[in-house]
Amino acid sequence: MRALTLMGPRQVAVEAVADAEVEAATDALLRVTSSAICGTDLHFYDGRMGAEPGMVIGHEPLGVVEEIGSAVTSVRPGDRVVVPTHICCGFCPSCVHGYSGACLTTNPGKAGAAYGYPGMGGYRGAQAEFVRVPFADANCLRLPGEPGDEYEHDFVLLADALPTGYHATVLAGVRPGDSVAIYGAGAIGLLTAYCALRLRGAAVVYVVDRVPDRLDKAGELGAVPVDYTAGDPAGQIIEQQRRRRGGAAWRGEDALGGVSCAIDAVGFQARTFGDPAREDPRRVIHDLARLVNPTGRLGIIGVFPAEDPSGVDGLEREGRLDVPWGKLFAKGVTIGMGRDHDKRYNDFLRDLIAAGRIRPSEIVSHRLPLADAPDAFRRFDERRDGYLKIVIDPAA
Ligand code: ZN
Ligand code: ZN
């Protein structure tokens, strides 16, 4: 079969690899109809997070069951399904308690497995014609409709991007009436804004970035775009919040000049605001600590690796970060972080899509054949030409 393979830093190629197949009685083989490229894939593309050449990448597949193992009972060949990025077993203590992203059996000795992701169990990726789905009964989410119908791009986002955006709003405890600041207008930041506004009742959502078409998309979704190249983004948000209050605090809320919820949707490869070519992993957390109101909530959904040998400073190389802990303590801030437990959310998000209540595919910018994936990676990595969320069609 053909699959997108990491060849080295900033080099991917469509290669002929061994066919994916049913290996265990609990497996299913999925024929992939859509496979999305994720911002996380760019960390590997950039040679970070311990990615090794030869790895088939991709962790956001949608498809049709081609074949099942003898022990699989809930799906059969021909079923349209999406599978979560994080491979779960369904029966370990983490899975039973709703923490499928920390499954204890699919990556022995660690908590959490994923397709095409270094250090996450060695499973082959999903930017391929076929993918092997372990524990098919726990992972396959059945979907209505037919491959290629009007929901194809909504449903592919159920694999990772949409539940991850929703999870970010859960980590930050977004409630009706909240003010929310999100750093990063990639697919996750935008879908976090979308979920905060449409599903969690936020009163106002600010989205900080520097890429014009991403900021435009944030505006289209109903958020307030904040361009950090135009000046200190936290200052811009504090000023907009002041104007929203008409210049005076409501009910004496002078200390609440920032936002009730602040979300990092950038992660360890954050850029210096003054010089976007330079990385500064501490940049976003320092802004969030300044912006979040006393008793507010922080959600950290951007990725931070356990160690980063190519990091810009000694702390980062050891997986450590300079965080304004005292300021956060004084404010009594609640912090939530970590990977998405996608299985906790993907069924009700599917039902919202099927009911016509949400159309997250608004953020999908491109649908391309597998052969165009190397070029798409290049442009996506350079944040060029409106490459925001790319869906690969392996059959094209
Ligand atoms: Zn992803
Ligand atoms: Zn499990």
**The residue type at 301:** I
Residues 127 and 248 in one domain: no
**221, 363: one domain:** no
pLDDT of residue 315: 86
Relative to the alpha carbon of 339, which ligand is closest? 1
Provide the domain count of the chain. 2
Q: What are phi and psi of 81, to 5 degrees?
A: -140, 155
Query: How far apart are the CA of 89 and the centre of ligand 2, in A?
Result: 4
Q: Give the contacts of 70 (CB within 8 A, at least 6 positions apart).
A: 25
Q: What is the CATH number of the domain that holds 102?
A: 3.90.180.10
Do residues 112 and 259 both lie within one domain? no
Q: What sign for the dihedral angle of Cα 145, 149, 153, 156?
A: positive
Quote the pLDDT of residue 98. Answer: 96
279 contacts 259 by C-beta, under 8 angstroms: no
- CATH number of the domain where residue 288 is located: 3.40.50.720
- Rounded to two decimals, the pTM is 0.96
Question: So what's the pLDDT on residue 249?
Answer: 67
- Same domain, yes or no: 203 and 243: yes
Task: Check whether residue 168 and residue 317 sit in a common domain.
Answer: yes
Q: Tell me, in angstroms, the distance from the centre of ligand 2 to residue 341's CA.
A: 11
Residues in the chain: 396
Ligand minimally distant from the alpha carbon of residue 114: 1
Which residues are found with C-beta within 5 Å of the ion, ligand 1? 38, 40, 160
One domain for residues 178 and 120: no
Nearest ligand to the C-alpha atom of residue 91: 2
Residues 192, 104 share a domain: no
SS (H, E, C) the chain: CEEEEEEECCEEEEEECCCCCCCCCCCEEEEEEEEECCHHHHHHHCCCCCCCCCCECCCCEEEEEEEECCCCCCCCCCCEEECCCECCCCCCHHHHCCCHHHCCCCCCCCCCCEECCCCCCCECCCCECEEEECCHHHHCEECCCCCCCCCHHHHHCCCCHHHHHHHHHHHCCCCCCCEEEEECCCHHHHHHHHHHHHCCCCCEEEEEECCHHHHHHHHHCCCEEEEHHHCCHHHHHHHHHHHHCCCCCHHHCCCCCCEEEEEECCCCCCECCCCCCCECCCHHHHHHHHHEEEEEEEEECCCCCCCCCCCCCHHHHCCCCCCCHHHHHHHCCEEEECCCCHHHCHHHHHHHHHCCCCCHHHHCCEEEEHHHHHHHHHHHHCCCCCCCCEEEECCC
Do 75 and 121 share a domain, yes or no?
yes
Asked if residues 359 and 2 have their Cβ atoms less than 8 Å apart, the reply is: no
**277: Cα separation from own chain's centroid:** 23
Distance, CA of 311 to CA of 132 (rounded, Å): 33
Q: What is the whole-number distance in angstroms between the Cα of residue 133 and the centre of ligand 2?
A: 14
Token pair of 327 as six digits: 């300021």
Question: At what angle are helices 161-171 and 346-354 packed, to 10 degrees?
Answer: 120
Looking at the DSSP bridge assignments, the partners of residue 336 are 299
What is the span of the domain harbouring residue 89?
2-160+341-393
171 and 152 both lie in a single domain: no
Q: Which of 125, 112, 107, 111 is nearest to 51 (CA)?
A: 125
pLDDT at 248: 67
Are 220 and 169 members of one domain? Answer: yes
* Same domain for 168 and 87: no
Closest to 154 (Cα-Cα) out of 298, 359, 383, 294: 359
φ, ψ of residue 380 in degrees (nearest 5):
-65, -45
Q: Check the CA dihedral 37-40-45-51 and report its sign.
A: negative
Q: What is the pLDDT along the chain (396 residues), one digit of tens a residue?
A: 999 999 988 999 999 999 999 999 999 999 999 999 999 999 889 888 777 889 999 999 999 999 999 999 999 999 999 999 999 999 999 999 999 999 999 999 999 999 999 899 999 999 999 999 999 999 999 999 999 999 999 999 999 999 999 999 999 999 999 999 999 999 999 999 999 999 999 999 999 999 999 999 999 999 999 999 999 999 999 999 988 887 666 677 778 889 999 999 999 889 888 888 888 989 999 999 999 999 999 999 999 988 888 888 888 888 889 999 999 999 999 999 999 999 999 999 999 999 999 999 999 999 999 999 999 999 999 998 999 999 999 999
Give 144 Cα–ligand 1 centroid separation in angstroms.
Answer: 23
Residue 188 alpha carbon to ligand 1 centre in Å: 9
CA 106 to the chain's CA centroid: 20
Q: How far does the centroid of ligand 2 lie from the alpha carbon of residue 98, in Å?
A: 9
> Do residues 108 and 217 share a domain?
no
